[in-house]
Structure 1
Amino acid sequence: MIEESSSGDLWLAALVVVICLLCSAFFSAGETAFTAASRARMLMLEKGGDKRAQLVNRLLEMRERFIGTVLIGNNIVNIGVSAFATSVLVAIFGDGGALYATAIMSVLVIVFAEVLPKTIAISSPDSVTLFLSRPMSWIVALLGPLAITIERIVRLMLRPFGIRIGENTPILSASEEIRGQVNLLHKEGGVAKVERDMLGGLLDLEDLTVSEVMVHRTKMRTINADLSSEEIVREVLSSPYTRMPLWRGSQENIVGVLHAKDLLRALDAVGGDASKLKVEAIALESWFVPDTTSLRDQLKAFLAKKTHFALVVDEYGEVMGLVTLEDILEEIVGDIKDEHDLSVQGVRPQPNGSVNVDGSVPIRDLNRAMDWNLPDEEATTIAGLVIHEAQTIPDTGQIFTFHGCRFQVLRKSRNRITALRITPLQPVRGRES
């Protein structure tokens, strides 16, 4: 009778060992899966009515309590499995059973309670998280009070050392986190380069100002308001643009903006007789914006005013250039061309691997076209970058080497670099960050 009772105890202890291993695997898989699960996908599933995703999001909102519960549960079952396994093997092999228990349980715990469940969880974290959401919520509800108590004890123990739980803030901003995820997905093949550039351009709107994307005043196509109506009509019809600033006296004195459609409507109203037109009466009022306005704010302003065109001024009120809605959209989707746009892009790759570039080409556009990462913090155009790095206005034929490229000045007009040849000396690092 005693032997039967002893045998029954051994089987019971062995059963407890198996149950403890399964519980340890459950806690290990849960910790890994919940940590790696996509918060964005869980929020999307919750909005779609998924109750399991709702439980997941609720657990992730109380992250410290969840982690504390998992650690407590895992430690309890791991201590339990070691204790019961030792008792079983000591009963079978005597004092040497403790050594056998240590060796056997180390292998079982590492393989079946740690590596195997964590590997399964990390390979499909979202699915595993949803599968474990309900039992995990029960465990947190059961062990939550104990976890809260232990958390408070830890806080009190750390206070003399000046360490306060919960005061640490993420190093990366939300936009940097998104950019990092997009770059990672692109590197893994989940996001195409075009999509990565579009998302990156959207995130950059807050950091860029209108002065970095505007058409400079030296390239603005304007019309002298003192010209005859017939000449103004011809100027508008020969222009590739639909909106033209009007000036009087000097090109900095903008008196209005003439829209081609408004001009054609007015011309139709007078029976096609251009001499009867009063152009300034047709022109729209000029809208001036500071050069420090961010692209995000300017985009909102364009949408609010329901217009696509603004003149950019500096702190002294001097006209620096113009910015359009299309200029901002191009920062997101890339260069937009239609049948009336000028075809000159200014970037011409050569068969030998070098690239001939107009000096006025923005660095951001060159980076996007060639998938380079030339810095654009100190200069907007590629000519400005060369001048900044050289600390002088170079002469034609001069060669400089920086940022992994050789820059040769091909043409120069007065104090402006008009053409460059850029030769990568090594693969120019793509924009991964």
Structure 2
Amino acid sequence: MIESTIWVAIGAILLLIVLSGFFSGSETALTAASRARMHQLEKAGDQRAGLVSRLISARERLIGALLLGNNIVNIFASALATSVFLSLFGEAGVAIATLVMTVLVVVLAEVMPKTWAISNPERFALAVAPVVRVVVAVFGPVVIGIEVLVRLIMRIFGIRVDDNASILSAHEELRGAVDLQHLEGGLVKADRDRLGGLLDLAELEVSDVMVHRTNMMALNVDEDISKLIDAALASPYTRMPLWRGESDNFVGVLHAKDLLRALKAAGGDVDKIDVLKIASQPWFVPDTTSLQDQLNAFLKRKSHFALVIDEYGEVRGLVTLEDILEEIVGEIADEHDVEISGVRPQPDGSVIVDGSVPIRDLNRATDWKLPDDEATTIAGLVIHEARMIPDERQIFTFHGFRFTVLRREKNRLTRLRIVPLDSKQLLLPSATRPVRA
């Protein structure tokens, strides 16, 4: 009679360990399952995916119910094991029961089910969701009471838990996921840069990507019409701002196609063309406009070109739809672009950089992390850090790099040599691509 009771207790202990493994594996799978993946499966008609999504949305209650169930079966199993080993070995049974149950719970009820669950959390979560829903429903009232008690205790110690608080924004979570996939080999650098550029649109302003006023190609509307046409046809750009009187008094934007249509309509007689009549009105946008807002504005207005002004209404530069798209897909070149190699890796591991190269473009090309908060270009970064306009051959060290000024024209730094002090950031001559200057 005693032996049969012991075997029944052993069977109950094994069953309880299986239940403990179920609770442990379910907790791991449901907390690790991708909500995005579940959302896609739910849209495809998988009802279990919808159930998983609802369970995950009430994460605190889900974890509380699973932990409560896990603790109940573990304590019950430990109590039965102690009773069995006491009857078999006397007082030494307590120590033996502790040792045996520790091994069984750790191996069979914790490590093994959690390893199984984490290997394929979505499939595991879909399998256990119907049973877990019943567990959450049964233990729900108890878990609610525990939640209230926990929050009261935390409030005593000055800790407040906000149900709507989020440690990371959606953009930060996406950015972290992209970086992690790149580190694990799931994304190549080019794909990571494109996704990162898309996420950066809301944080960047048009002043970060615009063509500066000093690099703009503009036409004087009062010039002889034949010279204007020659300049427009020789330009690699299809849109050119027009100015009159003063170089910062912009009165229109000339499109090459409009000019060709006007030439055809005039039968090739350039004297019959009035450039201002075929030019469009200039569109001025503040330099503090975010790239995301500017992209939406471009799409809404069906326009590709805008002049950028500062707080005083002075033109700082121009921005195009292509400039914004290049933040996502990288440099876009066509057969009319004049390619300028702004970055030239050297055999000794250093890099010669044109001063006008944007810091973001250099970082993207080299995988460096030079800060771009206080300056837009490499020359601007050196001047900001040096607190002066350096002379040629002056050397500065900051942010883990050594900067040597190779060429200075008036107050502009036009060429620098950059040497990473960390050997991990040294570039081979083929490790980067040309960057727009």
TM-score class, shorter: over 0.9
Q: Secondary structure, in 3 states, of the residue corresponding to 2:331?
A: coil
Inter-partner Cα distance in structure 2 for 1:154 and 1:221: 66
User: Any residues of structure 2 matched to 1:133-282 within 5 Å, and which?
Assistant: 133-166=129-162, 169-282=165-278
Q: Distance in 2 between matches of 1:96 and 1:421?
A: 75
Shift of 1:408: 1.0
Match of residue 95 from structure 2: 99
Taking structure 1 as reference, are residues 321 and 284 closer, same or farther at Cα in structure 2, changes over 3 Å only?
same
Alignment of 1:258-337 (within 5 A): 258-337=254-333
The AA in structure 2 aligned to 1:325 is L
Query: Take 1:150 and 1:393, find their aligned partners in 2: how far apart are those partners?
Result: 64
Query: SS of the residue aligned with 2:277?
Result: helix
- State yes or no: 1:89 paired with 2:85: yes
CA distance in 2, matches of 1:352, 1:152: 64
Aligned to 1:31: 27
Give per-residue Cα distances to partners, 1:345-377, cap 9 Å, x unaligned.
Answer: 311111221111110000000111111111111
- Identify the match of residue 17 of structure 1 among 13, 18, 21: 13
Distance 1:261 1:168 in 2: 54
Deviates more, 1:163-172 or 1:406-415: 163-172
Counterpart amino acid of residue 361 in structure 2? D
What is the aligned partner in structure 1 of residue 51 from structure 2? 55
Task: Give, as a single letter, the amino acid of the residue that structure 2 aligns with 1:93.
Answer: F
Residue type of the alignment partner of 1:330? E
Q: Distance in 1 between matches of 2:14 and 2:323?
A: 66
Partners of 1:358 and 1:162 lie apart in 2 by 54
1:383 to 368, 379, 386: 379
CA distance in 1, matches of 2:164, 2:42: 28
- 1:45, 1:228 → 2: CA distance? 66
Cα drift, residue 24 of structure 1: 0.4
The runs of 5 or more residues in structure 1 that have no matched partner are: none
Change in Cα spacing, 1:353 to 1:163, as seen in structure 2 (3 Å) is closer
AA of the residue aligned to 1:190: G
AA partner of residue 138 (structure 1): V
Displacement of 1:168: 7.6
Distance in structure 1 (CA, Å) of the matches to 2:382 and 2:93:
75
- Give the counterpart of 1:409 among 377, 391, 405: 405
- The counterpart of 1:69, out of the listed 56, 59, 65, is 65
**What is the distance in 2 between the residues matched to 1:92 and 1:68?**
36
Distance 1:13 1:301 in 2: 72
User: Take 2:160 and 2:343, find their aligned partners in 1: how far apart are those partners?
Assistant: 54
Offset, 1:315: 0.9
Sequence identity (%): 62
Alignment-derived partner of residue 340 in structure 2 = 344
Aligned mates of 1:164, 1:368 — CA distance in 2: 41
Distance of 1:55 and 1:206 partners within structure 2? 34
Measured after TM superposition, the shift of residue 173 of structure 1 is 2.2
Moved more, 303-312 or 13-22: 13-22
Contact 1:373 1:429 in 2 (8 A): no
Tell me the distance in 2 between the aligned counterparts of 1:428 and 1:330. 27
Would you say 1:42 and 2:38 are equivalent positions? yes
2: distance between equivalents of 1:26 and 1:71?
11
**1:305-350 Cα shifts (integer Å, max 9, x gaps):** 0000000011111111100000000111111100000111311111
CA distance in 1, matches of 2:351, 2:67: 57
Letter in 1 for 2:265: A
Distance 2:155 2:367 in 1: 50
Residue 249 of structure 1: how far off its partner (Å): 0.6
Q: Return 5+ residue gaps in structure 2 as ranges.
A: 427-437
1:160 CA displacement: 3.2
CA deviations 1:274-316 (Å, max 9, x no partner) are 1111111000000000011110100000000000000001111
Whole-Å separation in 2 of the counterparts to 1:12 and 1:135: 25
User: Match for residue 108 of structure 1?
Assistant: 104
Is residue 411–residue 418 contact of structure 1 (8 Å, CA) maintained in 2? yes
1:128 aligns with 2:119: no
Q: 1:149 & 1:122 partners in 2: Cα distance?
A: 30
1: CA distance between counterparts of 2:195 and 2:412?
Answer: 33
Measured after TM superposition, the shift of residue 420 of structure 1 is 0.7
* 4+ residue segments displaced more than 4 Å: none
Structure 1 residues 319 and 419: alpha-carbon distance in aligned structure 2, compared to 1, 3 A threshold = same
In 2, the alpha carbon distance for the partners of 1:229 and 1:383 equals 38
Measure, in 1, the Cα distance between the counterparts of 2:151 and 2:416: 61
Task: Find the aligned partners of 1:382 and 1:17 in 2 and give their Cα distance.
Answer: 68
More deviation, 288-297/27-36: 27-36
Structure 2 Cα separation of the partners of residues 268 and 259 of structure 1: 15
Aligned twin of 1:425: 421
Q: Partners of 1:429 and 1:101 in 2: how far apart?
A: 56
Query: What's the C-alpha RMSD, in Å, of the aligned pairs?
Result: 1.5
Q: CA deviation at 1:428?
A: 6.1
Range 94-103 or range 135-144, more displaced: 94-103
1:399 matched to which residue of 2?
Answer: 395
Q: Conserved in 2, the CA contact under 8 Å of 1:247 and 1:256?
A: yes
